[in-house]
Each structure stands twice: as C-alpha cells, then as structure tokens.
Amino acid sequence: MVKPWFRLICKREQLQLLGTLNGGQSFRWKFIDLEGDKKWIGVFEKHVWILKQNDDEISYQVYGSDNDEKFYNNMLANYFQLNLDLKQHFAEWSSKDPIFKKAANQFYGIRILNQDLVENIFSFICSSNNNISRITSMVEKLALLFGEKICDIDGQVYFSFPPVEALAQDDVESVLKKEGFGYRAKYISESAKLITKEGVGRWLEELKTLPYEESRTKLITLTGIGPKVSDCICLMSLRHLQSIPVDTHVYQIARKFYMHSLPKRKTVTTKIYKDIGDHFRELYGPLAGFSFVLI
C-alpha cells in the first residue's frame, strides 16, 4: 500500500538532513539519489521513514502504522529535537568562539538526534574500533537476525531493532561471531544478559532518571562501553546535552585549537578526558554536546 506524503514545516537552517543523518549518530539511514530525486530512507521507533527536504520543509512517508500528520510530525520533532532553536544557539556560540563560527557557516542545521536507548547502546557497542560503513552493516544485521519485520518497500524488507531480551538469548554470541562481529559478539551478548538479569524495564527506566555523571557510571558497567561510548549514549538517548564524547580526534582538535597546554599523548587519559569535557562545557554551556558536534 502506497502511503500518503506528509509535510513538516522546518527550514534547512534549523535542520539539515545531510550531516545529521550520515554523521555517525544513527546507523539506520540510507541516502538515495535517483536522477535528482534525493531522499533518505531509515528506521526509527519501529517505523520506516522516507524523507525529502527543501529549504522550507520536509516531506515524508511513514510505514509501520496508520496515524495522522500531527502524530508523525510530533515523532519527527522529538527525534530531531526541534524544540531547540538551532539558529539562535548557533548565533550565541558563534559569538563566543570564532572556530565554531567558521564551522557553523558551512555545517549549519546539524542536530543531535534523540534516539531509542536500547538501539543506541548496542549500536555504539558495535562502534568499537570500527568505521561507519561496517557499523551500519552490523546494526542492520542485528535487526535482520533478531528484530521484527516492519514492511517491504520496493522489494526491500525493513526490520525494527531487536529488544534487549532477544539479544540476551544463549545463542546470540555464537550467531554474531559467525556473522563477523568478532569480539563485539561477546560484548553484545554479555551486556544484554546483564540488563535482562537486573530487569530490562527497571534497568532502562532507572538509567533515564539518573543525573549525567551517574548515567555515565551505570553505562560503563556494561561490557564494551567505556567513557566515550557512554557519553555518546548520554548525549543521543538520555538528553544529557552537556555530554562531550572524547576520542583521540577530539583530543587533537582540543590541543591544536583550544587547549594548547594539554600534554602530548597517544591515548586520552581519564584526567585529559575530563579536562576537555569541562573546557567545552564552560565555553558552550549546558548544550555543549549539541554544539561540539560541529567542531
């Protein structure tokens, strides 16, 4: 059944799909350009979305349920965090930081996605020592093997991301190893079993209520999650928008452009990690993670 096209009024300066959807936040989106017909196809909240963008609006189709435009507009607004006036914040951050101003002129409209917590946890476990293309393949494989079918569009079958319970089954590790997940197979299996043992609903709901630092601490108890991945999850699924995920790339940027006194290191120590995060939180304020995605 062909779905109707709906409209979400949103200027490109407030949301740019290019950069937001292909920047390593979510791994469920694919860009398609058929003779100038440019669109994004992706999955979130157990729905398949087809998005097209012009300077003033996003037109879209949704597969997975039958609701009205207002319902789906609210889902998109929540996913893209459209309650935040990006143009206003960009102007504020640009006035504080000439480096940000230069980046904002080119990469305007890039937002932090508000993603499903379970999908984000296991997607970023897959990200360990990995690239976007391979992470995308692994996340799609998890959905195919353990998720539920949503729909079939033009011969392509789309699946939802699996619940924790599905990833906690005894054979998950061996299945994923055969699929090329390597050591990440064990990380996924052990983390899913830990959450399940403590009670999936209780564990997730408690995590959502914790303050930022306590959220990080709880996430790091999962196998395969360190400081950077915990900050990615805090930033993109728990609305801790002050989170700054720090890796060697971020460290190099911080040392070169902002914190010249940082010691030269091959790896990021706990102290350096905290110092970098604190520096940008002081510079950008409570939405530091939202702004730092451009840098």
Q: Under a CB-based contact definition with an 8 Å cutoff, are residues 243 and 289 in contact?
A: yes
Asked if 30 contacts 153 with a C-beta cutoff of 8 angstroms, the reply is no
Using an 8 Å Cβ cutoff, are 268 and 251 in contact? yes
- Candidates 221, 245, 250, 247; CA nearest to 234 is 245
Q: Which residues are part of the catalytic machinery?
A: 228
Cα(101)–Cα(115) distance, rounded to whole angstroms? 27
CA distances from 153 to 2, 27, 41, 157, 158 (A): 9, 19, 10, 6, 8
Interatomic CA distance for residues 94 and 105, integer angstroms: 9
Q: How far apart are CA 292 and CA 245, in angstroms?
A: 9
- Report the C-alpha gap between 224 and 220 in whole angstroms: 8
In degrees to the nearest 10, what's the CA dihedral of 87, 75, 212, 220? -120
Largest CA distance in the chain: 61
Plot region of 180 (φ>0 → left; ψ -120 to 50 → alpha; else → beta): left
- Alpha carbon of 161 to those of 7, 100, 115, 119: distances in Å? 26, 35, 12, 6
Q: Which residues contact 288 (CB under 8 A, 6 or more apart)?
A: 241, 242, 243, 244, 277, 280, 281
